[in-house]
Amino acid sequence: MGQKGSSGLFRAVSAFGVVGFVRFLEGYYIVLITKRRKMADIGGHAIYKVEDTNMIYIPNDSVRITHPDEARYLRIFQNVDLSSNFYFSYSYDLSHSLQYNLTVLRMPLEMLKSETTQTRQESFDIFEDEGLITQGGSGR
């Protein structure tokens, strides 16, 4: 299954991305995208469909404390078909609409700069009360 490298480590799996982490009774698992298919291009950004995933138990099996219900939870979770209608992109935000993404792309640079300046002014400096000098401030 794995390939041994010169450092003595084994490659357990090759993946295109991380779907997330899930915890059951015995510990955490990482869910990886192991197969993908390019479905579209939006403005030069590739959109992929998840074709297959793999779950890997993160802690070492030697420290695993077995629980009788773990296998049942794993089966229930693995019944969720992550290969149907799950899409991702490395460079395009799929959580927003095309209209929103195009609006942000067309927004003048000056407006984007003023928005980031407003965000910085609304934040607070945790070192201000200590009288410490920060990069953006002068201290007391």
pLDDT at 18 over 90: yes
Residue type, 2: G
> What is the residue whose two structure tokens read 């298919």?
37
Per-domain residue ranges of the chain: 17-116
Fill in the DSSP letter of residue 119. H
What pLDDT, on the 0 to 100 scale, is given for residue 128? 52
Is-contact 74 64, C-beta < 8 A? no
CA distance 103 to 14: 36
What pLDDT, on the 0 to 100 scale, is given for residue 140? 43
Q: What is the pLDDT of residues 68-81, one digit of tens each?
A: 898 899 999 888 88
pLDDT at 133 over 80: no
pLDDT at 44 over 80: yes
Distance between first and last Cα of the chain: 61
CA distance 34 to 59: 20
pLDDT at 2 over 70: no
